[in-house]
Amino acid sequence: MKNVYFDNNATTAVAPEVIEAMAPYFKDQWGNPSSMHAFGGGVKKGIDEARQKVAELIHADPSEILFTSCGTESDNTAIRGGTEAVSDRLNLITTRVEHPAVLGPCRYLGERGHRVFEINVDASGQVDIVQLGAALRDGPALVSIMWANNETGVIFPIPEIAAMVKAAGGVMHTDAVQAVGKIPIDVRKVPVDMLSLSGHKLHAPKGIGVLYVRKGTRLQPFMLGGHQEDNRRGGTENVPYIVGLGCAAELAQRHMADEINTVAALRDRLEAGLLAVCPDSRVNGDRAHRLPNTTNISFEYIEGESILYMMSDVGIAASSGSACTSGSLEPSHVLRAMGVPFTAVHGSVRFSLSRYTTAEDVDYAVKQLPPIIAKLRAISPFVKK
Amino acid sequence: MWDYTGKVMDHFRNPRNVGVIENPDGVGEVGSLACGDALKLMFKLGPDGRVSDVKFQTFGCASAIASSSALTEMIKGMTLDEAAKVTNQDIAEFLGGLPEQKMHCSVMGREALEAAIDNYRLGRTDKKILSGKVVCNCFGVTEEEITRVVRENGLSTVDQVTNYTKAGGGCGKCKGDIELIVGKIVKERLEAELKAGRQAAPRKMTVIEKIRLIEQTIEREIRPLLKRDGGDIELIDVDGNRVKVALRGMCAGCQVSSLTLKDLVGVKLKEFVSSDLTVEEVRE
């Protein structure tokens, strides 16, 4: 059976080059980088090189790169560590469409005396800049707003938002987990103080993340009890994974200029193909400001989990914002915040591509989807005859 | 992916009895697009009063479609009295089981069947009428429905109620109310169990049964009360009808520990196990 993977915003295949780069750090270079003997020396060099490569991908200084265990740890460190570093109560400003890794710590701090503002988005998923401006005038703030949305791929105007936050004297964090490696990011030009990224979204393995921390940013370490990462993150370094992420960052930088066009062309072909052959379907989110690899399509009158299972039966992998697939009973908070009707939320499917997606994959999906949609609609009581 | 049985996947991939019946004898409709699943069930009776034809339409996940399909297979050929006795557990069992979080799909099947039978018998053509107090506003679940599902499925936690009825799965504001309903039913159930155990006890209780019942009573009736004051209790030995316990935590050395023993431990054990028991404190 064919195996077609359209779920790259959930996780990506580890690049073969990355596996190769990591291998020596399991076999020979297994020393502790902190050790004062030869076993640690080469290992330290591997970490330094990886730090350099990750820094280059976002145009940061290597000293501003903090390795963590995942994107969620990076977000928690930025939000909780950034809040704890100042003695005053802060306003925490975020949006209604953030990843739970951001909403979770914000709401946690909200229960402990900080005020939390969750900024609205419009029907296209774009953040309400006016509301953000008003919240910024309310007092000292730590702002955490994502660079690109995981469900819709919608890109927020982070350069503009970060400038607003800095002008208001706030601290700016962005969860760029979905953006890094897919679109150019340059922290020399965009005044974010902190930025989260995750290895497994850009063809490195799961279990490695980064928090970029601009020089001079006040941050209380989240993981205490170790001198590693310049006393900012305790714990012996996850050396093979750090090396793997370095390699993945290098690959992303090398391929990005091409991939922005090739992947976007495949995505557009998939999107146009599906909309043409599946009646009563619609795209969710701002198509003009969107990651090149993502499309979120709602198929009316039918439910996402059923669609995914039937797609899986023919070897196609994607994900859905339906309640049944979220592990809770509530459908996607992102699509609901955009005001997408319940009918369309439950039947939403996210297709996310990667550098490994082929035109053949896309055409296969365009051919396989219509009978699935038709079969489920034949069962549905809501289809108007 | 969910851990669906082969039978669930079979009924999902090849649903039986999909469609509509012209001029059905009974129609039941439950759920809605907003809730994420909905089921329309209709049947026709034969001259012998048995279900001769049944069809369904479902909007929902794989287990919702499978539950609907299974239900139609189950009730074909039944009289309405027989069909009315089908429970959500029967549907889940027919499918070889459903994941706990998906049990609400089987409940939806039973509700639709009930609505269809009501439609036939009472001529009600409206969708499910919410009778009684609505507990969960997000999913429109009533106290009556929660009570019924808790009783029929032997549930004991709020999370289970959410898995079976969806109640509490939206904004979560009603979780306190659900807890009260569940608490009441669990208490009734425990009392009934203990009563049954107590009535059967005098002649038949073996030493092991007696010790178990004493442990159960300590666990359910006594320990929670002591813990409230920072104390605890440990069963040391049972010698005939003499129950030896040690008081722990704040209870150990408490000035009124003799009262605790007599008024709380003694009374509860006499009430729930046997009136012949006496309690002694062991000090180490």
The confidence band for A1, taking pLDDT boundaries of 50, 70 and 90, is: confident
Question: What pLDDT score was predicted for residue B198?
Answer: 65
A371-377 long-range CB contacts below 8 Å, 24 or more apart? Answer: A372/A307, A372/A310, A372/A311, A372/A314, A373/A278, A373/A281, A373/A299, A373/A302, A373/A307, A375/A310, A376/A302, A376/A303, A376/A306, A376/A307, A376/A310, A377/A301, A377/A302
Quick one: pLDDT at residue A327?
62
- Could you report the per-residue pLDDT of A293-310, keeping only the tens digit for each? 999 999 999 999 999 999
Who contacts A86 (Cβ-Cβ below 8 Å, separation ≥6)?
A140, A218
Averaged pLDDT for residues B56-75? 96
**Chain A partners of B39 at a C-beta cutoff of 8 Å?**
381
Active site residues of A: 324
Question: What's the whole-model pTM score?
Answer: 0.82
Give the sheet arrangement for strand A91-95, strand by strand: A65-68, A209-213, A194-198, A171-175, A141-144, A91-95, A115-119
Q: Does A374 touch chain B (CB under 8 A)?
A: no
Which of A300, A309, A320, A373 should one mutate to test binding to chain B, selecting the residue with the greatest count of B CBs within 10 A?
A309
DSSP string, chain B: -----HHHHHHHHS-SSBS--SS-SEEEEEEETTTTEEEEEEEEE-TTSBEEEEEEEEES-HHHHHHHHHHHHHHTT-BHHHHHT--HHHHHHHTT---GGGHHHHHHHHHHHHHHHHHHHH---SS----S-EEETTTTEEHHHHHHHHHHHT--SHHHHHHHH-TTSSS-TTHHHHHHHHHHHHHHHHHHHHHHHHHHHHHH--HHHHHHHHHHHIIIIIHHHHHHTTEEEEEEEEETTEEEEEEEETTTT-TTHHHIIIIIIIHHHHHHT-TT-EEEE---
Instruction: Give the one of B13, B18, B36 whose C-beta lies nearest to A324's C-beta.
Output: B36
Report the share of chain A in percent with pLDDT over 70. 99
Output the pLDDT for position B283: 77
pLDDT tens across B124-162, in order?
Answer: 655 555 567 889 888 888 998 899 999 988 898 999 999
What are the structural domains of chain A? Answer: 4-12+257-376 (3.90.1150.10), 16-251 (3.40.640.10)
As for the ipTM of the complex, it is 0.89
DSSP bridge pairs for B177: none
Render pLDDT for B180-199 as a digit per residue (tens, 0 to 9).
999 899 888 888 888 877 66
Confidence class of residue B173 from pLDDT cuts 50, 70 and 90? confident
Question: Would you list which residues of chain B are within 8 Å, Cβ to Cβ, of chain A?
Answer: 1, 9, 12-13, 15, 18, 29, 33-34, 36-40, 57-62, 64-65, 101, 139, 162, 166, 169-170
State residue B270's pLDDT score: 86
Interface test with A, best of B18, B61, B173, B178 (most A CBs within 10 A): B61
The model's pLDDT over A14-27, given as tens digits with 9 standing for 90+, comes to: 999 999 999 999 99
Q: How far apart are CA B163 and CA A322, in angstroms?
A: 16
Portion of chain A with pLDDT greater than 90, in percent: 88
User: In whole numbers, what is the pLDDT of chain A averaged over residues?
Assistant: 95
Confidence of residue A269 (pLDDT cuts 50, 70, 90): very high
pLDDT digit string, tens, across residues A163-183:
999 999 999 999 999 999 999
Is A10 within 8 Å of A99 (Cβ atoms)?
no
Binary contact (B36, A303; C-beta < 8 A): yes
Question: How many helices (H) and strands (E) are present in chain A, helices listed first?
Answer: 14, 13
CB contacts, 8 Å: A310 with chain B = 13
Residue B129: per-residue pLDDT: 54
CB contact under 8 A, A379 and B15: yes
Q: For A207-230, what is each residue's pLDDT tens digit? A: 999 999 999 999 999 999 989 999
Determine whether the interchain pair A324/B13 forms a contact, defined as Cβ–Cβ distance below 8 Å.
no
Nearest residue to B250 via CA among B231, B263, B233: B231
Which domains does chain B carry? 1-127 (3.90.1010.10), 130-202 (1.10.10.1100), 205-281 (3.30.300.130)
Q: What is the dihedral of CA A134, A136, A140, A143, to 10 degrees?
A: 140
Interchain pair A379, B39: CB under 8 A:
no
